[in-house]
Homo-oligomer: A and B are copies of this chain.
Amino acid sequence: MSSEPSRKLTIYDLAKLANTSPSTVSAVLNGTWQRRRISRKLAQHILDLAEREGYSTNMQARALRRDRSGILGMILPLYDNRYFSSIAQIFEAEARRRGIFTIVACTNRDPDQEREAARMMLAYRVEHLICTGATNPDAIADLCRAAGVASLNLDLPGTAAPSVISANREGARRLTDALLDRLEAQQIDATRVLFIGGRVEDHNTRERIEGFRQARESRGLATAPTDVVPCDYAAEKAQAALEAYVEREGRLPAAMFVNSTISLEGIVRWLRLGGHDMNEIIMGCFDWDPLAAAFHPRLIMMRQDVTTMIARLFEWIDTPPADPTQCLEVMPEIVGTPAPRC
């Protein structure tokens, strides 16, 4: 309201305006005035003044003095799929609800960028660092420990900090079961089922492969090495891998376990380009995307329970787990599997 202030207003300015001291203004503005026995009248006066003059606390100064920044940091591989983008959104919303500020950085699945981002966040003195889907979570946990900052892993587990992840093995087992149920309902031979996408270096992929194997085994089905193709996540890689499989086998797999929506993109493109109908093949995807669901209603998807994962995360932010290497698994939910009909 007041005319263009050349410099930003400080508590010293307010103190002058209110004819009182900076320490009093500070106490009023940060809510400790009752404890410091400031009269309600003066407090109200200062609050009105601050409001009218458009005062805004300098968080840098506060953070410096308090030795607490009020900032939570998160590093993330990417924003561009529904899983990671909902992690970012829900994380931010929950932090906002608690009056905490968040900083999120994308690191493109690159260990160097992960380290660099972590270093920056530590320089800004984040109070916790959430390490999501990191290629090398332990390296970051070490950086954090050296800086005296608590860190937590999300999506991919580490050994140096507590982790919240999806129940990948059990989820994969259920997804595979759903695929096999479909095959059975349609009386199709369940031999040629392909697991495609992901990285073997990646804990989640390994667990999902194991779940896939177990689900098949418990129905007496063997899993050949050629049935499992962790060709990385990229759409092009998945596309090429599927092409190679079909060339070798001479025909499409009867069903496919696709390890992410990004791999799904390559698979679908290849099928389309080859003039295939989506319903020629039974598909499951370990990840969820509503657009994909709209285009292909018979696609079975595992939706990871991001809301619960973030909730658990915040519980650990509030009270660190007793065991600092604990790994908590959150069950994902299967979606898009209408009762199997012939």
List A residues at the B interface (Cβ < 8 Å).
5-8, 54, 56-61, 63-64, 69, 78-80, 82, 85-86, 88-89, 92-93, 96, 101-106, 116, 119-120, 122-125, 146-148, 235, 261, 264-266, 268-269, 272-273, 278, 289-297
Contacts and interface: CB of A to CB of B under 8 A. Distances in A.
Contact of A56 (B8, B147, B235): B147
A80 B69 contact: no
Nearest 3 A-B pairs (CB), nearest first?
Answer: A295-B295, A79-B85, A269-B294
B64 A60 contact: yes
A79 B69 contact: no
A102 B117 CA distance: 11
B60 A124 contact: yes
Contact of A88 (B79, B86, B290): B79
Contacts of A124: 59-60, 101
Indicate how many identical chains form the complex.
2
Contact of A59 (B88, B123, B268, B297): B123
Contacts of A61: 60, 64
Nearest to A271: B294
19 contacts: A6-B148, A58-B64, A58-B123, A59-B123, A60-B64, A60-B69, A60-B124, A60-B125, A93-B106, A101-B120, A101-B124, A235-B290, A235-B294, A261-B291, A268-B295, A269-B293, A269-B297, A272-B295, A292-B295
Nearest to A78: B89
A92 B107 CA distance: 10
Given A89-B80, A235-B290, A292-B295, A56 B119 contact: yes
Contacts of A89: 78-80, 106
A273 B266 CA distance: 25
Given A89-B106, A101-B120, A5 B291 contact: no
Contact of A125 (B5, B59, B82): B59
A74 to B, nearest CB: 11
Nearest to A261: B291
A92 B104 CA distance: 10
Given A85-B80, A106-B88, A235-B290, A56 B265 contact: no
Greatest chain B CB density within 10 A among A63, A124, A269 is at A124
A148 B6 CA distance: 8
Nearest to A58: B125
Contacts of A80: 82, 85-86, 89
Given A58-B123, A80-B86, A89-B79, A268 B294 contact: yes
B57 A123 contact: yes
Contacts of A278: 295
A285 B105 CA distance: 30
B56 A123 contact: yes
B235 A264 contact: no
Given A6-B148, A89-B106, 18 more contacts: A5-B148, A56-B122, A58-B123, A59-B60, A78-B89, A79-B79, A79-B89, A80-B89, A88-B106, A93-B106, A96-B116, A269-B293, A269-B294, A272-B295, A273-B297, A289-B291, A292-B295, A295-B295
